[in-house]
Structure 1
Amino acid sequence: MKAADSNRTGSWPGLWRDADFRRLWVGQTASQFGAQATQVVLPLIAVVSLNAGPGQLGLLRAVEQAPILLLSLFAGAWVDRRRARTVMVSADCGRALALGAVPAAYLLGVLGLPVLLVVALLVGVLSVFFDVAYQASLVRLVERDRLLQGNSALEGSRSAAQIGGPALGGTLVSLFSGPVAVVMGAFFFALSSVSIGRIRGREQVPARGEGPVRIRRQILEGLRFVAGNPSLRAVGVASALFQFWLAALMTVYLLHLPRGLHLSGAAVGLALAAMGPGAVLGSLLAARLPGRFGYGRVLVFSAVVADGVMLCVPALHGSTTVTLPVLVGVNFLFGTFGQLVNVTMMAVRQALTPVRIQGRVVATINFAGMGLTPVGSLLGGFLASHWGLRTSLLVTAAALALSPLFMAFSPLARLGRDLPYAQRPGPPSVCRQQARSGARTAPKP
C-alpha cells in the first residue's frame, strides 16, 4: 500500500523506481551530451580549422536549424503514429553515423565547409525527430501529475550536458583537433540509442489512416489546436521571439568569444559550460516555484532576468582573467532563469494538451518557436559583417527583451498555481485508453 500511495502522489522515489523512466533519462542525458558537444565543435572547426567568416558561420548554423522550419510539422504527425522509442533510437543512430563522416573526411584529406554543411543538415534533420519524440514520450511513460518532476529531471540532465558537453568539446578541439572532438559526440549518441532501446513499456500506436492525406489532416489538427488555445498560442509567439533573436545573438557570440575577446577553445567551452550549473539550479527551482508563486509570475520574472543579463556581454573588454569570470557569471544566470522558463513552459504545454496529439503540439510549437532560427542565424552573421561584433551583440541582446514583454501582456502571465489539465492526471494506462477511445476534453485558456 505504501508503494502504491507513493506512486499516486507523484513523489520522486516513486518516479525513479520506474525503470523505463530511468532508461529514458539516461538516454536523454547521453543524447544531450552529444548535442551540446556538437553545437560547439562544428562551429569551432569552421572558425578555427577552416577559418570561416561571419557569413559562413551563420550559414552553417542556419543549415543545421533549417529542418526545424521544414520538417517540424511533418515530424509531429509522423511521431504521433509511431513508437517514440523507435524514433529516438533511429535518430540517435543516424546522428552518430553522420558525425562519423567528419573524421573520415579529415583522414581522406577532403574536410571542408561543404562536408560540415552536409553533416550539420543531417544532424539537424534527425534532431527534429528526436526532440519531438522525446517530449511526447514522457507523457506516455509517467502520470500527468508527475510531468513537472519528470521534465525537471530530464531538463536537469540537459543542464548537466551543458556543463560537460561544451567544456569537453572545446577542450578536445584545443588539445587535439575538431575531428577527434566530433568522435566524442558520436559516442554519446550511440550510448543514448542503447539506453532508450531498452525501454520495455508498450506504446499504443494509433492507426496510420490514409497515408499523406491523413498526415495533412493531423498536421492541421495540431495547428488548429495550438491556434485555438490562447495560452498555447502565447507559448508559440513568446518562443518565436526568443529563439529568433537568440539564434542571431549566438552566431555573433560564437565569433566574439574567440576573435573579439581572444579566448582559447577551452575558455570558450568553459564560458558556455557555465550555463550548465545554472540550468541545473533552474531545473530544481522549476519543480517548486510555479506551484508556490504561480506559473505566470515565474515565467515573466525569469524571462526578464535571463534575457536582461545578456546585455552585460557587449560591455566586456580586457584580458581573459577579467572577462572569463564575468562571462561565467552571466552565463550562469542566463542558464538558471532560462531553464526555469523552459521547464515551466514545457509543463504548461503538456498539461494543456491531450495525450493523443502531444507530438503534433510539440512540433507545432517548435515550428512556431524555432522555425525562424535559420533566418536569425543568417541575420547574426550579416550584422557581424556590417556592424561589427560588439554593436551586433548589443542589438541582438536588447531584442531578446521582446519575449518577456510579450509574455507580460499575454494569458501566460495570468496562469496561477494550478494548471487546467486537458485530461485528468492519471497513469499512462488510463491515458492510453483515453487516446484509443478518442476522448478529448477541451483545455481551458
Structure 2
Amino acid sequence: MPSASSAASDSGRSAPPSLWRDSDFRRLWIGQTASQLGEHTSLVVLPLIAVLTLNADAGELGALRALGQAPILLLSLVAGAWVDRWRTRTVMVSADLGRALVLGGAVVASLLGGLGLPALFVVVFTVGALSVFFDVAYQASLVRLLRRDQLTRANSAVEGSRSTAQVGGPALGGALVSLLSAPIAVVSSALFFAFSFLSIRRIRRREPIPGRTDRPRQVGQQIIEGLRFVVSDTSLRPVSLASAAFQFSFAAMMTAYLLFLPRELRLSGTAIGLVLAAMGPGALVGSLLAARLPSRFGYGAVLVCAAAVGDGVMLCVPALHGPSAVTIPSLIAVNFVFGVFGQLVNVTVMVIRQAITPDKMQGRAAATITFAGMGLTPLGSLFGGYLADGWGLRNTLLVAAAGMVLSPLLMALSPLARLGRELPFPKDVPAAAAGPKAQEAGSRDTGADHALSD
C-alpha cells in the first residue's frame, strides 16, 4: 500500500475487474465471516452453559447477558481510539486469538469441573470486549485496504456475510448443544475464531498507522477528538442522532414484541422462531440491493426512503389480530421487509461514514456512532418494559414503532438527504488531489483518499 504522498499519483489507475480478485479482501471477508459466526454462536452457547450445566436462574442469566453487552457501552470509544493507533490487521488477529484462547480455556475448565458462574461471567465479558475491538477494526480496515470505488460492493459483501452469521450462528449453536453438549459446542466458536485469525493474518498489504506517534496517555484526548469530529460533521451528526433514536425505540419495541407474540397472538415457540428468522433472508436481499441502488438513485434518496419503509412497516405489528393462519404470514412479511430495508440502511450508512471520514479518524468515528446508538439499548429495553406494564403491549408497540420513524425523519431533515450518486470526500483532503471528476462533484473539499488506494 503506498504512502499518502504517492496517493495522488496513483489516483488515476483503473479499478480491477472484480473486487473478489483482490486476495487481501478475500482473506478479510473469509476471516470476518468466520469471526461473526464464532461470535453469534457463542451468544447462544455460553448462556446455555449457564442454564444447562451450571443451573443458573433467571436473575443470573440476565446478569450474564448484561455482562456480555456491557463492553459496547464501556469500551466502544476506547476501541475506536486504539484502532486509530494500530493496524487493523493487528487488532483483528489479536481479538480473534484472544477469543479463541479464552473459549478454549473455558472448555477445558468445564470438562475438569472447574468452571463456575463467576468464571463464566469473566469469559462472557472478555469475549464481548474483544468483539467490540474486532468489530470496530474490521469497519476501518475496508477503508485502509480498498479504493473508494470499491467501498459499496465491499460493504455489501461484508454485511451480507454478517447477516448470514446472525441467523446461522445461533441456529448452529443450538444444534450443537442438542447433538453434543453446551461445553463441547463452545469448541465450535473457538475454532471459528482460530480460522478467522489464520485468514486475516495472511493479509499482505501494509496499511499506514495514522496515530502511531501518539503516546498512550493521549487516548482520552483521542476519544474527545473523535466525539468532536462526529458532532461537528453535518452528515455524521444526524447519523448518530438517527441511530440513537432507532436503537432506543427498537430495543423498547423488541421488549414488548417478544411478549406480544406468545401472549396476544398466541404463537407457539416454533412459530415465533419462524417469524423472527424472516429478518435474515431479508437482510441478505438488502445487502445485494445496497451494492446497486445508491449509485443509481443517489445515496441520500436510498438512505431516507429505505429507513422510512423499513421502520414504517413496523407500525403494522400492533394492528395484527386474528388466527395464526393470518398473523404468521403477515409477521413474516413484515419482518422480511424490515430486514431488507434495514440492511439497506446499514450498508449505505457505513459506506457514507467511511467515505467522509479521514483515515486517521475511521476507528473513532465508527466507535462513536456505535456508542451513540447501541449505548442506549439497555435504557430502551427498560423503557419498553415500563410502558408495557402501564400501557399494555399494543400501545407500547405503537409508541415504539412511532419512535423508530424518527430516524428517517432526522435524516430527511439533514444534509444526508441531499447526497447524490457520487460519494463525498473527507473534509481534510485538498481538492487539487481529487482529479477532475471529484472537483466537479460538489462544494465539499475533495481529493483522492490516500487510504483507499492499493
- TM-score, L = length of structure 2: 0.80
Judged with a 3 Å threshold, the aligned counterparts in structure 2 of structure 1 residues 201 and 354 are, in CA distance, closer, same or farther, namely same
Judged with a 3 Å threshold, the aligned counterparts in structure 2 of structure 1 residues 40 and 268 are, in CA distance, closer, same or farther, namely farther
Q: 1:279: how far off?
A: 1.3
Instruction: Indicate the residue corresponding to 2:26 in structure 1.
Output: 22
Q: What is the one-letter code of the residue matched to 1:203?
A: E
Q: 1:371: how far off?
A: 2.1
Q: Is the 8 A contact 1:79 1:87 kept in 2?
A: yes
Query: Could you tell me how far apart the structure 1 residues matched to 2:452 and 2:337 are?
Result: 42
Query: Could you tell me how far apart the structure 2 residues matched to 1:251 and 1:105 are?
Result: 34
Q: For 2:168, which of 153, 164, 168 is the aligned residue?
A: 164
1:417 aligns with 2:421: yes
Query: Could you tell me how far apart the structure 1 residues matched to 2:404 and 2:60 are?
Result: 24
Query: Which moved further from structure 2: 364-373 or 32-41?
Result: 32-41
Q: 1:331: how far off?
A: 2.5
Q: For 2:191, which of 184, 187, 195 is the aligned residue?
A: 187
Instruction: Indicate the residue corresponding to 2:231 in structure 1.
Output: 227
1:431 aligns with 2:435: no
Q: 1:194: how far off?
A: 1.5
Q: For 1:202, which of 180, 188, 206 is the aligned residue?
A: 206
Q: 1:342: how far off?
A: 0.5
Query: Could you tell me how far apart the structure 2 residues matched to 1:250 and 1:183 are?
Result: 30
Q: 1:412: how far off?
A: 1.5
Query: Could you tell me how far apart the structure 2 residues matched to 1:218 and 1:103 are?
Result: 38
1:341 aligns with 2:345: yes
Instruction: Indicate the residue corresponding to 2:286 in structure 1.
Output: 282
Query: Could you tell me how far apart the structure 2 residues matched to 1:331 and 1:103 are?
Result: 36
Instruction: Indicate the residue corresponding to 1:331 in structure 2.
Output: 335
1:93 aligns with 2:112: no
1:151 aligns with 2:123: no
Judged with a 3 Å threshold, the aligned counterparts in structure 2 of structure 1 residues 318 and 161 are, in CA distance, closer, same or farther, namely farther
Q: Is the 8 A contact 1:296 1:416 kept in 2?
A: yes
Matches within 5 A, 1:35-184: 35-42=39-46, 53=58, 59-100=63-104, 103=107, 107=111, 117-173=121-177, 178-184=182-188
Judged with a 3 Å threshold, the aligned counterparts in structure 2 of structure 1 residues 66 and 347 are, in CA distance, closer, same or farther, namely same
Query: Could you tell me how far apart the structure 2 residues matched to 1:99 and 1:319 are?
Result: 44
Query: Could you tell me how far apart the structure 2 residues matched to 1:318 and 1:106 are?
Result: 47
Larger Cα Rg: Structure 1 or Structure 2?
2
Query: Could you tell me how far apart the structure 1 residues matched to 2:395 and 2:73 are?
Result: 28
Judged with a 3 Å threshold, the aligned counterparts in structure 2 of structure 1 residues 399 and 174 are, in CA distance, closer, same or farther, namely farther
Query: Which moved further from structure 2: 272-281 or 108-117?
Result: 108-117
CA-to-partner distance for each residue in 1:334-385, whole Å, 9 max, x for gaps? Answer: 2110110001001111111111221121122222222222333444455567
Q: What is the one-letter code of the residue matched to 2:277?
A: A
1:297 aligns with 2:316: no
CA-to-partner distance for each residue in 1:392-419, whole Å, 9 max, x for gaps? Answer: 5454334222212222222222222222
Identity of matched residues, %: 66
Q: For 2:373, which of 369, 381, 395 is the aligned residue?
A: 369
Q: Is the 8 A contact 1:168 1:269 kept in 2?
A: no
Unaligned runs of 5+ in 2: 1-9, 436-447
SS at match of 2:237: helix
Q: For 1:247, which of 236, 251, 257 is the aligned residue?
A: 251
Query: Could you tell me how far apart the structure 2 residues matched to 1:137 and 1:290 are?
Result: 22
Judged with a 3 Å threshold, the aligned counterparts in structure 2 of structure 1 residues 345 and 327 are, in CA distance, closer, same or farther, namely same
Q: 1:80: how far off?
A: 1.2
CA-to-partner distance for each residue in 1:56-107, whole Å, 9 max, x for gaps? Answer: 6665444322222222222111111111111111112222344446655655
Judged with a 3 Å threshold, the aligned counterparts in structure 2 of structure 1 residues 115 and 255 are, in CA distance, closer, same or farther, namely farther
Query: Could you tell me how far apart the structure 1 residues matched to 2:175 and 2:213 are?
Result: 50
Q: 1:271: how far off?
A: 4.0
Q: How many residues align?
A: 424
Query: Could you tell me how far apart the structure 2 residues matched to 1:378 and 1:100 are?
Result: 34
Instruction: Indicate the residue corresponding to 2:38 in structure 1.
Output: 34
Q: 1:38: how far off?
A: 3.3
Q: Is the 8 A contact 1:248 1:378 kept in 2?
A: yes
Instruction: Indicate the residue corresponding to 2:221 in structure 1.
Output: 217
Q: Is the 8 A contact 1:162 1:275 kept in 2?
A: no
SS at match of 2:235: helix
- TM-score, L = length of structure 1: 0.82
Q: Is the 8 A contact 1:169 1:269 kept in 2?
A: no
Query: Could you tell me how far apart the structure 1 residues matched to 2:144 and 2:385 are?
Result: 40
Judged with a 3 Å threshold, the aligned counterparts in structure 2 of structure 1 residues 124 and 135 are, in CA distance, closer, same or farther, namely same
Q: Is the 8 A contact 2:230 2:236 kept in 1?
A: yes
Q: What is the one-letter code of the residue matched to 2:238?
A: A
Query: Which moved further from structure 2: 142-151 or 273-282?
Result: 273-282
Q: Is the 8 A contact 1:66 1:374 kept in 2?
A: no
Q: Is the 8 A contact 1:144 1:425 kept in 2?
A: no
Query: Which moved further from structure 2: 349-358 or 241-250?
Result: 241-250
Q: Is the 8 A contact 2:37 2:168 kept in 1?
A: yes
Q: Is the 8 A contact 2:290 2:347 kept in 1?
A: yes
RMSD: 3.6
CA-to-partner distance for each residue in 1:297-327, whole Å, 9 max, x for gaps? Answer: 2111111222223344455677877655444
Q: Is the 8 A contact 1:58 1:377 kept in 2?
A: no
Unaligned runs of 5+ in 1: 435-445
CA-to-partner distance for each residue in 1:165-224, whole Å, 9 max, x for gaps? Answer: 233234445555544544433332222111111111112224533524432332222222
